[in-house]
């Protein structure tokens, strides 16, 4: 049996297996040959480990079994303790050297083991010249000219650590202006006065997506003028936990960026700054995602209804000041464009009777709906909306503790196109209702629910109908 299939055919089969521990275990139990072929066919690998010197030998040995890797993720599950910054950097540099020596065909590398030195990054560029996506941690002061040594780099993610042993002065950045092809940039941990960032802004003239997280600034005093240059062609921007700079960034986007189609702001932004952006932006924004803007109110929603008529995705999370009047104004204005709506942990959903029914009648184009963590939402309110939203393909109700099987029966009756549903942490939904949904939703492809709510019958039919049932 083991020799009936040739190596090439087995490898093609293995490439199509899901990347799950159960799939790997099943293959490894057949024979050692199958295990070796499975490993050699793998193109991506994710590892999480504890810091220990024995890891250096183990990693080198492990990677030798995976010659076809194009994507590798290494993440430290605990910080390196009892070591000064020089020792910690030496450890991470050694690990990065092992990666560059063992995986010359890498296209994607996520290396979050600790801060890496500039010299190790230059060494990586010589061994892994095909890299298009890099995620690493860096120490201050920042020296970023190594980015130029990766000619195919399209996506760069940098986690800035407060202390380090970088021996290169950040002023060296100024000597090497060279526009490069970065299209996606993620930065975390920038503080006021951080030098070197201005060089990055100045040379990122093809940037399409920018993500900032836990940033108190965009660099030193001269960096802001360079930042303005890079925002002109942006299509997407994510601002997470950047309270001190959100208003300034939004102002420059409104003044300088006409191509923006997606804006995400989590945990930041003033009432006035956000309203000014909505009223003055020159772009055709299509996606708007806001979390914990504590003073977001109906004035903002009215401005969205008036100025952002092409909005296709609206996500609001923990917005406690909006009312049904504001949301209904939105629903009326965006009736023919809005395809995705999320009202997560928004108490207006629970507070105002009839709101969801009205939204459902107005938003007939909805394809995706997320009402997660509205703990007091009841079946009657939800089903009154689902009757009208018969084009839904994706529905998330995670953490809606009052929802019962009545809602699932309504879903199977009214939403014939439903492909994905998330009903985790809904104690009112029992196994019988889950089984009914599996049996009666012909288009279902994914269901997220507790494992103990999936009966043997439901599991059998899920396999037969190719429905992925997870508890993630």
Q: Is the pLDDT of residue 277 over 90?
A: yes
Cα gap 149→345, rounded to integer Å: 45
Find the mean pLDDT for residues 345-353: 93
- By mean pLDDT, which of 21-35, 43-57, 93-107, 350-364 is the weakest? 21-35
User: How large is the angle between the packed helices 21-28 and 32-41, nearest 10 degrees?
Assistant: 140
Task: Give the contacts of 234 (CB within 8 A, at least 6 positions apart).
Answer: 207, 208, 209, 210, 253, 257, 259, 260
pLDDT value of position 193: 85
Residue in 303, 217, 212 with CA at minimum distance from that of residue 254: 303
Q: What are the φ/ψ torsions at residue 274 (nearest 5 degrees)?
A: -70, -40
Q: Tokens 């920018």 correspond to what residue? A: 210
435 vs 194, higher pLDDT = 435
- Identify the three-state secondary structure at position 402: coil
pLDDT value of position 188: 96
Q: Which pLDDT band, with edges at 50, 70 and 90, does 163 fall under? A: low
Q: Tokens 């193109």 correspond to what residue? A: 43
Q: Which pairing describes strands 468-470 and 368-370: parallel, antiparallel, or unpaired?
A: unpaired
Q: For 31-83, where are the E strands, in sequence order?
A: 44-49, 71-76
For residue 11, the 8-state DSSP code is H
Helix (H) or strand (E) holding 155: strand 155-161
Q: Which pLDDT band, with edges at 50, 70 and 90, does 255 fall under? A: very high
- By mean pLDDT, which of 220-224, 234-238, 350-354 is the weakest? 220-224
Q: For 118-260, where are the E strands, in sequence order?
A: 133-139, 155-161, 184-188, 209-213, 236-240
Q: Is the pLDDT of residue 91 over 50?
A: yes
Q: Which pairing describes strands 44-49 and 71-76: parallel, antiparallel, or unpaired?
A: parallel
For residue 146, the 8-state DSSP code is G
Find the mean pLDDT for residues 133-145: 92
Q: Is the pLDDT of residue 389 over 50?
A: yes
Cα-to-chain-centroid distance, residue 79: 23
- Identify the three-state secondary structure at position 94: helix
Residue in 85, 139, 140, 129 with CA at minimum distance from that of residue 107: 129
Find the mean pLDDT for residues 179-201: 89
Residue in 227, 231, 178, 177 with CA at minimum distance from that of residue 208: 231
pLDDT value of position 170: 43
pLDDT value of position 202: 87
User: How large is the angle between the packed helices 405-414 and 379-386, nearest 10 degrees?
Assistant: 10
59 vs 109, higher pLDDT = 109
Average pLDDT across the chain, whole number: 88
- By mean pLDDT, which of 76-80, 88-92, 323-327, 440-444 is the weakest? 76-80
Cα gap 323→256, rounded to integer Å: 32
Under a CB-based contact definition with an 8 Å cutoff, are residues 22 and 50 in contact? no
The per-residue b/e assignment along 356-389, b for 16 or more CB within 10 angstroms, e otherwise, is bbbbbebbeebbbbbbbbbeebbbebbbbbbebb
- By mean pLDDT, which of 20-29, 202-211, 258-267, 310-319 is the weakest? 20-29
Q: Is the pLDDT of residue 228 over 90?
A: no
pLDDT value of position 37: 73
**Structure token digits, residue 341:** 């709506």
Percent of the chain topping pLDDT 90: 63
Sign of the dihedral defined by the CA atoms of residues 317, 320, 321, 325, in that order:
positive
**Structure token digits, residue 30:** 């057949």
Q: Is the pLDDT of residue 125 over 60?
A: yes
């Amino acid at each position: 049996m083991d020799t009936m299939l040739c190596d090439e055919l087995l490898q093609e089969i293995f490439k199509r297996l899901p990347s799950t521990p159960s799939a790997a275990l099943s293959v490894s139990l057949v024979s050692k040959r199958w295990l070796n072929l499975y490993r050699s066919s793998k193109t991506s690998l994710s590892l999480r480990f504890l810091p220990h010197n024995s890891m250096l030998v183990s990693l080198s040995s492990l990677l030798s079994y995976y010659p076809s890797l194009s994507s590798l993720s290494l993440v430290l599950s605990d910080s390196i303790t009892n070591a000064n910054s020089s020792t910690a950097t030496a450890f991470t540099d050694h690990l990065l050297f092992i990666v560059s020596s063992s995986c010359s065909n890498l296209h994607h590398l996520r290396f979050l083991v600790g801060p890496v030195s500039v010299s190790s990054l230059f060494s990586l560029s010589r061994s892994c010249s095909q890299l298009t996506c890099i995620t690493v941690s860096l120490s201050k002061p920042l020296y970023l000219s190594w980015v130029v040594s990766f000619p195919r780099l399209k996506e760069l993610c940098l986690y800035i650590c407060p202390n380090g042993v970088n021996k290169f002065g950040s002023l060296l950045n100024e000597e090497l202006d060279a526009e490069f092809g970065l299209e996606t940039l993620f930065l975390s941990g920038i503080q006021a006065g951080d030098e070197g960032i201005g060089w990055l802004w100045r040379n990122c003239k093809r940037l399409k997506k920018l993500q900032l997280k836990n940033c108190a600034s965009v660099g030193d005093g001269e960096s802001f003028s360079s930042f303005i240059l890079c925002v002109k062609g942006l299509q997407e921007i994510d601002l997470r936990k950047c309270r001190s700079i959100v208003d300034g960034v939004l102002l420059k986007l409104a003044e300088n960026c006409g191509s923006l189609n997606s804006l995400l702001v989590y945990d930041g932004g003033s009432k006035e700054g956000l309203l000014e952006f909505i009223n003055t932006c020159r772009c055709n924004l299509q996606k708007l995602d806001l979390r914990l803007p504590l003073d977001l109110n109906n004035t903002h929603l009215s401005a969205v209804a008036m100025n952002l008529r092409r909005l296709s995705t609206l996500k609001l999370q923990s917005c406690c000041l909006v009312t049904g009047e504001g949301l209904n104004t939105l629903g009326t204005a965006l009736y023919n464009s809005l395809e995705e709506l999320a009202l997560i942990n928004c108490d207006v959903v629970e507070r105002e009777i009839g709101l969801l029914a009205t939204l459902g009648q107005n938003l007939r184009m909805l394809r995706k709906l997320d009402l997660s963590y509205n703990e007091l939402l009841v079946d009657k309110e939800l089903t009154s909306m689902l009757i009208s939203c018969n084009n839904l393909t994706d529905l998330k109700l995670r953490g809606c503790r009052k929802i019962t099987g009545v809602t699932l029966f309504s879903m199977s009756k009214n939403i014939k196109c439903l492909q994905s549903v998330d009903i985790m942490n809904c104690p009112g939904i029992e196994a019988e209702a889950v089984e009914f949904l599996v049996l009666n939703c012909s288009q279902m492809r994914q269901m997220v629910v507790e494992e103990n709510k999936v009966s043997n019958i439901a599991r059998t039919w899920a396999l037969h109908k190719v429905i992925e049932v997870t508890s993630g």
